Structure 1
Amino acid sequence: MSAPSLAAVLWDMDGTLVDTDPYWMAAETPLVESFGGVWNHEKSLALVGLGLDDAARVLQEAGVRMAVHDIVDHLTSEVMRRIAEDGVPFRPGARELLADLKASGTKTALVTMSLRRMATHVVEMIDFEAFNVVVAGDDVTRPKPYPDPYLRACELLDVEPTETVAIEDSPNGLRSAVAAGSVAIGVTSIVSLEGTGAHAVWPTLSGVTASDLSELHRVQSEKRRT
């Protein structure tokens, strides 16, 4: 039996497609400080890739006296405001790769732990139909690093996980993609990706094409068969 060919590419959003991690960090600090707590860059880094509910519980432990869903709504609204004011801050090469995937006929999914309203906000600001489906944090019960978000995306796209490549920037996201059965690419952003099980770690998506993803998928699929 031949190795499966690449049928779909699954994208994380924050830190992978768009450089919004600094927006989240900028929203966290004043929130914690408004309740008399102390927050810093290192604590913000620990939240990268977490499900929003889990991140909100960490903020509660830091002194934020708000319900989990209220924290999530507050942070989401702040990040959406920044995007509306400043535009979509695409990571280098991301928009170009999306356009190349569309031109090649490859299916795409956005798989994010952000709320659907924020994911929709970002997608609507892209000037072409970039994604076939969107799976957001409020669409699944178990967040990354569980495989559920990526498995749901595969189900909606009607593809097998082994037919996909997932692109991520966080350890939790990569573990989710690997657990689902995707070929997982880590794109370095602001946290270390060592020990995540990624099949490849690239410094950037700049210059990466749909053919590059197809070739990586082919090579990794062959390795799985041996």
Structure 2
Amino acid sequence: MYKLCMFDFDNTIARLEPEVDWAGGRLILEPYLRSIGAPDELFARIPRGNLPLYDGYRTLMLAESKRDQLTESLHHASEIIEKIELAGVDRAQPLEGAIEILAVLKATGAMTAIVTSNSSKTVQRWFDRNGVASVDAIVGRDTLLGLKPAPDMLIRALELFSVDRSEAAFVGDSEADVRAAQSCGVRFYGIAPTDSARDRLLAAGAAEIFGSPATLAFHLNLPAART
């Protein structure tokens, strides 16, 4: 077993995506970024989405060496996205076996962390609502680190627990998750409930893909899966 098992959140642990008004969030996030001087080129290059726009703005500001004004603006941009996440998180249902795999990993002595582009407050709210108390850390967007596919948040989790990359694994559902694991040098397990999702992970280079956290637990021979 691994010393540290890291998990993405949305569509890996909980089905948050369909419960969030992402389009409505863009109508708030984009005007805010324009008001603080984000260039038209950014919005033309990223015409849809909130997380890509947020991360694109972060990357642009770092490239222009504007760190002094980055922290405050990123915090506010993240909070805009957080509000729409929180509006839907109570409706998000767990994937099959998601809560159980976190609990049994903890029981076997492994450390667990959520590494996600969502806000840590959103994740903690879902855990509290669903009675999950078995995660050692949440590394979320509010760290202001680069979002996946950058390996930054995975590296932060490894550093928090002083764990070598060979002793850790990351579980996720997206191409960005695959690339982040590859860049970080940790083993990747994919969660893909549909054939199309599985095909996307395969195309990104994932080799071990499972239909749910429950089938992953069975593959890892965890006690709950055996029973």
Do both share a fold (TM > 0.5)?
yes
Taking structure 1 as reference, are residues 52 and 167 closer, same or farther at Cα in structure 2, changes over 3 Å only? farther
Name 2:23's counterpart in structure 1.
28
Alignment deviations for residues 77-109 of structure 1 (CA, whole Å, 9 cap, x no partner)? 12212223x3x4111111111121122111100
Is the contact made by 1:11 and 1:111 (CA closer than 8 Å) also made in structure 2? yes
2:156 aligned residue (152, 158, 165): 152
Which residue number corresponds to residue 188 of structure 2? 184
Matched with 1:223 is none
Q: Deviations over 1:105-154 (max 9, x none)?
A: 11100101112322222233342422111111121432211111111101
Q: Which residue of 1 aligns with 2:213?
A: 205
2:202 is matched with which residue? 194
Structure-2 residue corresponding to 1:123: 127
Q: Which has the higher helix share?
A: 2
What is the CA–CA distance in structure 2 between the aligned matches of 1:153 and 1:91, rounded to whole Å? 23
Supply the distance in 1 between the matched residues of 2:77 and 2:83 (Cα, whole angstroms). 10
Alignment gaps of 5+ in structure 1: 36-45, 58-66, 216-226
User: Contact conserved, 2:114 with 2:138, CA < 8 A, in 1?
Assistant: yes
- Aligned-residue sequence identity (percent) comes to 24
Aligned partner (choices 7, 13, 17) of residue 9 of structure 2? 13
Mapped to 1, the partners of 2:88 and 2:114 lie a distance apart of 20
Shift in alpha-carbon separation, 1:47–1:170, aligned structure 2, 3 A: farther
Contact 1:167 1:185 in 2 (8 A): yes
Q: Check 1:166–1:214 CA distance in 2 against 1; reply closer, same or farther (3 A cut).
A: farther
> Structure 2 stretches of 5 or more lacking a match?
31-47, 59-72, 223-227
Aligned to 1:224: none
**Deviation per residue, 1:18-47 (Å, 9 max, x gap):** 1011123x33158559x9xxxxxxxxxx85
Matched, 1:74 2:101: no
| Rounded Cα–Cα distance in structure 2 between residues aligned with 1:173 and 1:52 | 18
- Asked if structure 2 preserves the Cα contact closer than 8 Å seen for 1:52 and 1:137, the reply is no
Size of the aligned set, in residue pairs, is 189
Q: How far did residue 160 of structure 1 move?
A: 1.0
Task: Provide the rounded CA distance (Å) in 2 between the counterparts of 1:29 and 1:55.
Answer: 19
Residue 184 of structure 1: SS of its match in structure 2?
Answer: strand
8 Å CA contact 1:110–1:131 kept in 2: the answer is: yes
RMSD across aligned C-alpha pairs, in angstroms? 3.3
* Residue of structure 2 equivalent to 1:165: 169
Bigger mean CA deviation after superposition, 195-204 or 92-101: 195-204
Residues 210-225 of structure 1: pairs in structure 2 closer than 5 A: 212-213=219-220
**3-state DSSP of counterpart to 1:76:** helix
Paired with 2:12 and 2:133, the residues of 1 have a C-alpha distance of 18
**Does the 8 A contact of 1:16 with 1:168 survive in 2?**
yes
Q: Which residue of 1 aligns with 2:45?
A: none
Quick one: distance in 2 between partners of 1:116 and 1:108?
14
Distance 1:56 1:29, change over 3 A: farther
Length-normalised TM-score, structure 1 = 0.70
**How does the TM-score come out when normalised to structure 2?**
0.69
Write the deviation string for residues 187-209 of structure 1: whole angstroms up to 9, x where unpaired: 11574223222231222222432
